[in-house]
């Protein structure tokens, strides 16, 4: 039986993702613990459009993935990863994301929240959309 982590990022896809992520991620005092699992949790959350607390437990604690996502958003890691991928594959910039329009209550209008993550969430959704295709192309070469 395939685990949730393997179904989010296959072994072939991880061979493509790992060097790209290592090239752009910030290097700290301590290396991240099980980076593949955490990235899988982030990708799972954006594939499903669910809340952080809904991340399956076999992908690790939800707060670890949420903290990494927010930290990397503030540091511009997702944008750097997207730019690195876009430079290698020009078709990556031509993805259609879901254009569904949902009306909000009139009281929901207002200024952006502190630490707004909408741009980073759109980038991660974009990366998830091409993750398996990118791995499939690299395996076939």
108 lies in some domain: no
Reading the block at residue 12, the tokens are: 């072939």
What is the tens place of the pLDDT at every residue in 69-103?
999 999 999 999 988 887 765 555 455 555 555 66
The domain of 52 spans 34-97+114-141
Number of domains into which the chain is organized: 1
pTM, rounded to two decimals: 0.67
105 lies in some domain: no
92 lies in some domain: yes
What is the tens place of the pLDDT at every residue in 102-123?
666 666 666 556 566 788 888 8
């Amino acid at each position: 039986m395939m685990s949730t982590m393997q179904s989010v990022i296959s072994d072939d896809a991880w061979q493509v993702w790992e060097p790209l992520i290592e090239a752009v991620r910030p290097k700290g005092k301590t290396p991240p613990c099980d980076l593949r699992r955490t990235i899988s949790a982030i990708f799972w959350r954006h594939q499903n459009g669910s809340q952080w607390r809904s991340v399956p437990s076999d992908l690790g604690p939800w707060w670890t993935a949420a903290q990494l996502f927010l930290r990397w958003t503030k540091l511009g890691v997702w944008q750097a990863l997207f730019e690195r991928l876009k430079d290698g594959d020009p078709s990556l910039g031509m993805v259609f994301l879901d254009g569904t329009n949902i009306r909000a209550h009139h009281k929901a209008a207002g200024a952006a929240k502190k630490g707004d993550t909408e741009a980073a969430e759109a980038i991660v959704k974009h990366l998830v959309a091409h993750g398996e295709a990118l791995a499939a192309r690299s395996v076939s070469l």
